[in-house]
Structure 1
Amino acid sequence: MTDHPKSANTSALLAGAHIEGVDEATWLDVIQRMDEVYSQLVSDEIALEQKNVELEQSQQFIFSVMSAMSDVLLVCNERGEIEETNAALCELVGCSDDALRGTPVFALLADDESRTRMRGVLDDANPSRRGEAVELNLRDAAGAGVPVDTNLTPRFTRNGRRAGTVLVGRPTAELKRAYHELREAHEALKLAQQQLLHSEKMASLGRLVAGVAHELNNPISFVLGNVHALKKYSERMGSYIDAVHAGASDEELGALRVRLRIEHLLKDLPSLIEGTMEGAQRTADIVNGLKRFSAVDPEGRSAVDLNAVIERAIHWIQKGTSEVVALHWAAREPCVVTGSAGQLQQVVMNLLQNAYDAAGAEDRVAELTLSCTNEGDRVRMSVRDNGPGIPDEYLSRIFEPFFTTKPVGKGTGLGLSISYGIVEQHGGVLSARNHPEGGAEFVLDLPRALAGPSEVAA
């Protein structure tokens, strides 16, 4: 590109080399320096073209970013005149960027209050570099006011002089709609969690139906037998009282007392009544326990002895299975925690049921080892089975919702997940591992409650 001009210059200069006092070496030096200057000019021109390309690419990038922003963007100078906008703002106010450029920002505000707030930010002599959050009403394409939650950030030159203000905002109607949708989703999630919790409770309760029927049959049969005896006794007493009212002689009344065994009846009545009350109370206790276990609403928090919870859970598990279960358990000192007795019972029952299912999966006698101890300000309960243990690849997923290794129809996959959530709500930790001596071990760790025996919930 530079060969022809250079050749022409060189020829011209050499042609004039006959000037008196200027030798050829001097002319060659001048020509060399001109070539160097020319080469530098060409290099500078190439570098300038490259800078122009980079600048254009940078401008295109900034324009694409501004166009892609869903938030409105406005840049004004220190006098409040608009210098730059983005597509979101132009769409909101119904004007093009060229039409907005140079117009005062106050023309976009829908009310005097917004103009006052904007003026206060622009006139602030010592603005915060982090900006100021202000709610403004912008005028949309139809002329109506649109509330916009904005952040007004000052813009400075290199020497620290304020050059203007950058406005970035989002219409609050969109935020309110998003918050409303989030709140609805949260409520739906809470309802689904309650339904899952109740479903898992009822699934656990279903496994205990046979044991519950047997448990209720004993006191009800006892009460029924006593009521039949009391009915016979009442008939005898009625016959004897009728004879007294009829004016029977003492001899007749004495013979009647012997025949009706009135003396024996009177001695037997207190024990019959006491036994009937005991059977009715046992029935009421069983029903109350089932109602507490299947309740949907969370119970109030109180001091609970975890030993008593374990005893009840063992009782229900044993009543709900016809298989032999070898249980190694002995309650020691009271292990008192603060929480819901019904929810904690659900957790313990779930751990026991899972341990029994794992240990009884193969042809072996299920053997469960339980312990509950106080360790400083914590209560630690462990449930260990003699099953095959948990595969290593499942240990990290054991508490995931709907994860189960049981056959279809044998488990919901929610028991451990719900138990984990209940323990977490009680400020505790539920963990699982494979015991060094074999089998799986689940450990329940809860904060210890400092409560006296009289405060512990039954």
Structure 2
Amino acid sequence: MAGTDPPPVRRLRRPLRDPESLADTQSGLDEVGETVWVEVIRKMDEVYNDLLQYEVVLEQKNAALEDSQQFIESVLASMSDILIVCNRHGTIQEVNDSLRRCIGQDESELRGRPLADLFADDGSRQRARDFFSAARPAAVQDCELLISGRDGSPLPVSLNCTPRLSGTGKLVGMVVTGRPVGELRRAYHALRQAHEDLKRTQQQLVQAEKMASLGRLVAGVAHELNNPISFVLGNVLAFRRYAARLQTYIEAVHSDHCQSSPEVDRLRQELRIDRIMADLEPLLDGMTEGGERTRDIVDGLKRFSAIDRSVDEPFNLADVVARAVRWVTRAGPSSFQVRVDLPAELPVTGSSGQMQQVLMNLVLNARDATCGCRAPLLEITALVADGTVSLHLADNGPGIEPANLSRLFDPFFTTKPVGQGTGLGLSISYGIVERHGGRLEASNRPQGGALFILSLPLAQSMP
């Protein structure tokens, strides 16, 4: 309460002792202090020994940790597969050297970026975002996406994505591994293409052997056909002379100076002698023309199938062109038209049979190339300059694929289906033209269609 004094403070007083008691007390304290210090020093030694042991263990564990870290780094550096460690939001935390080599970027540039930024197209980026869209993402196996390569070109990779968990099982991120599949795919494609080429080459070789056997057979048949054709033409000529004599005789019998009997006149009307005599000349002309055409065909077969041992004989290139066009157009569809505008004389030196083979192959290729056109057409013209004749064979077909122009004269290369072409025609033609001192070129016309230019040196007699 107010105005009340506080109670007095009682002070404790140390009791007074005599000097002997004080001396005994000091001696006891000294003995106790020495014991305590000894115990303290012993405890300090124990603690120091424990610290030394802990330091040795810690150094051993640090050394083991460094070895483990170096081992893991060496494994990651030597991995051919790419490795990306992301947090649960899709941000890149760690990458390995394989990824850096693939995309040409440093780790400092990649760390902290979204994983989706590494991909080349919108579809791949969206698919990468889907890896982290769920609250508990599931593992992804063999997901093929396009990653941006070192030069900016898309690089296909096969990715595996696995959730990364903490020690308590909490999702902390994703581990993405992948393998570039471009090289493997190209190798597989090359192997498959080589296998297809090998099968096609085998079939083409079989077809070429068949054609060679057919050529030998045609040569033999052509030789055998010469004799009966000669017989037919000889008999037609003889029959033409006989017909003229019979015509003279019949006219004499039924002339006004010679009286014929009514029976003879009746037979003349009944047997239609006058019509027969009128048709006899056209029939003989047709037989002669057919025999001569057959003879020309046989002669052409002999020339085509014969083995040319000499290539230094003069011949008229215009005649060879006309013969090759006639052969192809007769065997092909009637809609295929060939316009030939050449000088009457184009003297060159070489093998007419081999050059006919070249021209027939070029005309056949033009016919096959224009088979899908409404009005298939091949135009053959010539340009004579500086002692060289250049034949231009231009068709109105779809032309030649630019990628195939450089391979057009390679052996066994063909764009035709298997069984319809050996891939040897243009290659053989190219070699024949080269042996004749000329050249064979192919290109596409600006207005559409293919253009083949066959250039040959003219004979010395050509002005």
- So what's the TM-score if we normalise by structure 2? 0.42
TM-score by length of 1: 0.43
